[in-house]
Structures are given as structure tokens and as C-alpha cells.
Amino acid sequence: MTWKLLFRNAFRHTLRSLLTVFGVAVAVLAFGLLRTVVDAWYAGVSAAAANRLITRNAISLTFFLPIAYGDKIRAVDGVQAISHMSWFGGIYLDRKNFFANFAVDAASYLELYPEFVVSDEERGAFVRDRKGCVVGRGLARRFGWQVGDAISLQGTIFAGDWPMTVRAIYTGRDASIDENQLFFHWDYLNERLKAVSPRRANYAGIFVIRIADADSAAAVSAAVDELFRNSLAETLTETERAFQLGFVTMSEAILMAIRMVSLLIIGIIMAVAANTMIMSVRERLHEFAVFKTLGFGAWRLGGMILGESLVICAAGGALGIAGTFPALQLLGRYVSNVFPVLAITPATLVYDALAVLAVALAAAVFPIRKVVTVRIVDALGRVA
């Protein structure tokens, strides 16, 4: 049995085989895209550092913490460095231009996040300019921003217009880093609040803690929370990974639905491919009967049918996998504000290949059983 024979038999009915290849390609493409969307949901989790802790209000993220907590946390054994940040929630020009933006402690925040790569010159310019901001490369590309550009955010949580100047553009250390964020000075925010809403001033959304030893995360977290037990603003300290997972679990039902749809797509294409193979074998049943009379055993006949199924499914799978990359680039243009990190992973490619193999095997099962069990006399008596 040669590859040439397999290809000729697989595409003997050209239109039907090509439609099956196209169907497999579309299924693999959809399967890969859906899995990539799920991976994008977990992008923040994969980028989390083991030696970073997050301290927030024990009630909810919507309740802030007094900025004075920072000095007490800094004194806890095992704490190397600390910074603070607040979700700002501003919009640029209109609500369609939503992206993540935070007020951070400029002097310490970037030190805790080395994955945000910024040149020393731009970092210094950002720290010196109270109205300066740092934006990600993806965000700068999206709006055509350059260093030195004046921009303005419209506040939602903190009302008003907030003019600022782009002083630095960061790039991600690797592909899992979100390059669609904006950071500006917490001091800028706090000074405005002191003037217009004093009760909201001197508070931060979360504290970011870097610890000396990742293995001591539980002990340091407990020590930090113990400091503020029975206070007006009790804290909850957890690893950065656990903090990010908390956001993901809010969408667990959606993620489960996406996974189910991806599996359903593979199930449907299994049925389509199986129907193609069954029709092909039924039309050539007399040929397989001749092979039996020539001494071809069950293993060789089964191998021929499985080989044809693999050829069709592999062609469709290769086409689908190849199409995933341009499809992701196109999709990324429209959902970059929702999924800033949208890239196909090696694991997804492996799952695509396994799905193609599963479809090929499932599609060949019933035709193989038919050919192996049919009697030669019955097969030769059929009119193809």
C-alpha cells in the first residue's frame, strides 16, 4: 500500500472529499479559535509572578484601603518591596475606546513589574512628570500615540477630564504580557480628590507586595491580614495568581460553555467525516471483496480505510491550523480591548492535532467494521 494509492482512493469522489476537507478545516479553525479565547481569559493568571502578593479590602474590590496601610505592610517580615494602585476606569474620547487604566505609585510600581519593559530615560521622564503616563505598545499602536503626545481621559469613577502626557511606552517581556494598559500617577489622582472630594482622598485600591521567598507567601499573607484584623478596613492578602483567578472564576459558566461548544464542533465534524467514509466504502465494497479474495487480511483492509480517513482529515486539519493564525490577527483587531493577549499556544496546536486524529479514527471505525465483517459473496453481489 503506497501513499499514492491512498491519495487516489481518498479523493476518488473529488467534490465530496473536498467538501469534507473544508468541513474539517472549518471545524479545526473554530476549535483552535475557541481554545485561544479560553487561553486569553487566563492570560493574566499565566503572567502572574510567584513572589508577588495582592492586598485588597476583605469585603470587596470596590472598597478601598487607607494609603497609610502601606507603611505597616512594609514592616512585615519577608516583605521586600511594596507599591499601590487604583483602578481608574477612564475612557478615551468615547466609550468604545475602553481599555484598562490605573493610578499607580510611579516611583515603585514599575520596579515590582519587570515584565513591563521601559527604557531608563522614559521611566525617569514618567516619574518626574506628575501628569505623565505610561502606555503599552499595543495601546500606542491602536491610537497612534507617541512619547510626548498630550491625551485626556474622561473619568467614570472619578468624574472630570484628566489631561496627561505620554512619557513612556512599555513593551511586554514575553507574549503573555498585556500591552494595552495605561498607568499614571496616583499622586495626580489624589491631589484632585483632596480638592474636590476629600473623603475619597488618601485611599488605594490594592497594595502590591514583593516577597523575598515565594514559599513564604502564606505566612506573609497571614501576617499582613493579622495587622488589620478588627479594623474598619480589614484586608485579604493572596498571591497574584489567586487574585487573577478570582476574576476568571466569575466567568466560569461562560468558559464552560465555550469548551462545550468546541467539543460539540469536533463531534459534528466526526459525524460528517464518518458519513464520507461510509459512503466511499459502500460504493467500493466490491473492490474490497476482490482484495479479500486475493488474500488481503483484516489488518491490511482496515489500514487502507484508516489511511484514507487520515489523508482527508489531515488535509483539512493542516488547512484549518494554517488558517488559525491569520484569523487570530483579524479577530485581534476587533477584540483587543477585551482580549489584549490573543495568541495561539503550542498546547492549542497539539489539541488541534489530537482532534484531527480523533476525527480520523472515529470516521474509520464503522467502514472498517463493515469491510471486515461483510462476506465476499454478499459484497460481490452488490451493485455499486
Instruction: Give, for all 384 residues of the chain, the pLDDT tens digit.
Output: 566 777 777 777 888 888 888 989 998 999 888 888 888 777 767 777 889 999 999 998 889 999 999 999 999 999 999 999 999 989 888 777 788 899 999 989 999 999 999 999 999 999 999 999 999 998 999 899 999 999 999 988 898 999 999 999 999 888 778 888 999 999 999 999 999 999 999 999 999 999 988 889 999 999 999 999 988 899 999 999 888 887 777 677 777 888 888 888 888 888 888 888 888 777 777 777 777 777 777 788 878 888 888 888 899 999 999 998 888 888 877 776 667 677 788 888 999 999 899 988 888 888 888 877 777 766 666 544
Q: What is the pLDDT of residue 265?
A: 87
Q: Rounded to an integer, what distance in angstroms lies between the CA atom of residue 197 and that of residue 342?
A: 39
Q: Which residue has 480517513 as its cell numbers?
A: 309
Cell numbers linked to 41: 481569559
Q: What share of the chain is helix, strand, coil (3-state, %, to 5)?
A: 55, 20, 25
For the whole model, what pTM was predicted?
0.74
**Contacts for 149 with CB less than 8 Å, ≥ 6 apart:** 165, 166
Let me know: does 364 contact 306? Beta carbons within 8 Å. Answer: yes
Q: What is the DSSP letter of 325?
A: H
Q: What is the pLDDT of residue 44?
A: 67
Domain ranges of the chain: 3-43+252-381, 59-233
Q: What is the pLDDT of residue 337?
A: 64
Q: What is the CA 39 to chain-centroid distance, rounded?
A: 3
Q: What is the pLDDT of residue 127?
A: 94
Q: Rounded to an integer, what distance in angstroms lies between the CA atom of residue 366 and that of residue 110?
A: 60
Torsion of CA 229, 233, 234, 238, to 10 degrees: -140
Crossing angle (nearest 10°) for helices 346-373 and 14-41: 140
Q: What is the pLDDT of residue 384?
A: 45
**Contacts for 209 with CB less than 8 Å, ≥ 6 apart:** 52, 53, 54, 55, 73, 79, 81, 82, 220, 224, 237
Q: Which residue has 483579524 as its cell numbers?
A: 330
Cell numbers linked to 358: 480523533
Q: What is the DSSP letter of 79?
A: E
